Amino acid sequence: MKKISLVFAALMALALPGLAVPVGDDGLHKPDWLHDTFKDMREDLAEATAQGKRLMILWEQRGCIYCSQMHEEVFTAPEIEALIHDNYHVIQMNLFGDVEVTDLDGTVLPEKEMAKRWNVVFTPTLIFLPESAEGFESVSDAAVVAMPGAFGKITTKALLTWVLNKGYEGEEHFQKYVARMAEEAQGKN
């Protein structure tokens, strides 16, 4: 029995790297729900809206342990992965990258300069846009929420749900919503 357990453990250890989220040449994780675009926020927002999805901008950097944690432990949770895949058009940005990004007003800057313009100083940072950004010059002005940092499954699922349900338009502050969702989740266990 002990031999069978050891063989099983060895097979599982070999299989686990195949389950890992792939990492690109830029050192950033590349889950299948990311969209590779020209990083023109006007076009990306229009495409997301046409698909009936919300635009989420995911800021990361090479070697970010918190980004790895989100990709390996949080985004891979089946309910969170389904929420993202089914409801969000996700564009990845590199905090120190050189790829050109076009803001809502047509300003074109490399990712690292756009991060400064949008006040992104930490990775990961999730930025969510409304369905329409008409009248806004910059993503930082149009964003309905920007969430810096790595969070657990309950907070991340709550954030994704809160944005989808337009909780930012209601009276319940996100922190109160998270607390309520955590209580409800504990009640189910």
Task: State the pLDDT at residue 9.
Answer: 43
pLDDT single digits (tens) 78-95: 999 999 999 999 999 999
How many other C-beta atoms lie within 10 A of the C-beta of residue 95? 22
Task: State the pLDDT at residue 187.
Answer: 82
Could you give the number of structural domains in the chain? 1
For residue 92, tell me if it sits in a domain. Answer: yes
For residue 67, tell me if it sits in a domain. Answer: yes
Q: How confident is the model at residue 185 (pLDDT cuts 50, 70, 90)?
A: confident
For residue 110, tell me if it sits in a domain. Answer: yes
The pTM of this model reads: 0.87
For residue 42, tell me if it sits in a domain. Answer: yes
For residue 5, tell me if it sits in a domain. Answer: no
What is the Cα–Cα distance from 35 to 169, expressed in whole angstroms?
27
Task: State the pLDDT at residue 7.
Answer: 45
What is the mean pLDDT of the segment spanning 45-51? Answer: 97
Q: How confident is the model at residue 3 (pLDDT cuts 50, 70, 90)?
A: low
For residue 128, tell me if it sits in a domain. Answer: yes
For residue 12, tell me if it sits in a domain. Answer: no
CATH number at residue 89: 3.40.30.10
Q: Residue 32's domain spans which residues? A: 22-150
Closest CA to 56 of 78, 37, 79: 37
Q: What is the 3-state secondary structure (H, E, C) of 84-136?
A: HHHHEEEEEEECCCCCEEECCCCCEEEHHHHHHHCCCCCCCEEEECCCCCCCC
